[in-house]
């Protein structure tokens, strides 16, 4: 035991001596911390830019879901899967991924306008970040208002204007963004449910016919949904269902 303690002591002393020599030959870099002081304009601009980018990244999911065509597309896909009765097929990842790419395809003119009018001038230093936010959201406001007017869902705007005790706006500039966004979401849900009803009708008919045949044959122990599922899939494939659904969604915008 004494021999082991002696060896351990020698190792510790040798390590300390090595660190002391290294510190003598290669001094550690100095670290200066300054507290207080007034930031320069360049430092302030950089700080505001970082905060703006963080805010945009944190709000990006909400912007994508609530201010674009994503809401209508993903709700229609979910209703279609429920109507067919395929449970988890196609998986959520595939449906959401397809909805995202369709959203980018539909919203490309809006994204381009927001980049050219807001992001690019701000990065070049021609406008302030307040003006960049105002100019960047304007293309999305125009898209949302156009969809509400096109599908005659002005009642959604009236709900929020009545709550605020405001007059019904006659043009886009009279509608605050805090009213336009929830009105657009309600309008998109209404349109998606209308499309979902049309998708449900043929599949419900197949379920009813299958249930009637099984009941007439006395096969009450067999779930009608299990028997009708292959026929629903066959019908969907024969009519080229995915092409019809995708083209219908694209034409609805």
When pLDDT is cut at 50, 70 and 90, the band that residue 223 belongs to is confident
Least confident of 18-27, 54-63, 88-97, 195-204: 18-27
Burial category of 21 from C-beta neighbours within 10 Å (exposed 0-12, middle 13-18, buried 19 and up):
exposed
**Mean pLDDT on 121-139:** 80
Query: How does the average pLDDT of the chain come out, rounded?
Result: 76
Q: How far is CA 244 from CA 183, 236, 240, 249, in A?
A: 28, 10, 7, 9
Highest mean pLDDT among 16-20, 167-171, 199-203: 199-203
* Res 45: pLDDT: 59
Chain centroid, CA 172 distance in Å: 24
Residues contacting residue 137 through CB under 8 Å, at least 6 positions apart: 114, 177
pTM: 0.70
214 phi-psi bin (left φ>0, alpha ψ -120 to 50, beta other): alpha
- 3-class DSSP state of 176: coil
* Res 46: pLDDT: 67
Q: How far is CA 197 from CA 81, 145, 221, 249, in A?
A: 13, 25, 29, 14
Examine residue 136 and say whether the peptide bond preceding it is cis (omega within 30 degrees of 0): no
**Is the pLDDT assigned to residue 30 strictly greater than 70?**
no
């Amino acid at each position: 035991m004494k021999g082991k303690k002696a060896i351990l002591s020698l190792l510790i002393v040798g390590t300390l001596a090595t660190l002391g020599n290294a510190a003598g030959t290669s001094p550690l870099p100095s670290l200066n911390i300054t507290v207080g002081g007034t930031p320069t304009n360049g430092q302030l601009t950089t700080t505001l830019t970082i905060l703006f980018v963080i805010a945009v990244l944190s709000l990006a999911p909400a912007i994508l879901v609530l201010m674009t065509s994503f809401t209508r597309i993903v709700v229609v896909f979910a209703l279609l899967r429920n109507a067919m009765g395929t449970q988890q097929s196609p998986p959520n990842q595939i449906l959401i991924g397809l909805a995202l790419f369709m959203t980018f395809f539909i919203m490309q003119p809006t994204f381009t306008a927001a980049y050219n009018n807001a992001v690019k001038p701000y990065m070049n230093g021609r406008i302030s970040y307040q003006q960049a936010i105002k100019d960047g959201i304007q293309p999305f406001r125009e898209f949302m208002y156009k969809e509400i007017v096109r599908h005659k869902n002005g009642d959604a705007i009236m709900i929020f204007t009545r709550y605020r005790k405001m007059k019904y706006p006659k043009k886009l500039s009279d509608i605050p963004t805090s009213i336009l966004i929830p009105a657009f979401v309600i309008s998109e849900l209404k349109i998606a449910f209308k499309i979902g009803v049309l998708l449900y009708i043929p599949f419900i008919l197949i379920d009813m016919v299958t249930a009637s045949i099984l009941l007439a044959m006395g096969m009450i122990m067999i779930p009608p949904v299990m028997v009708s599922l292959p026929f629903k899939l066959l019908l969907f494939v024969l009519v080229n269902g995915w092409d019809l659904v995708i083209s219908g969604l694209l034409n609805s915008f």
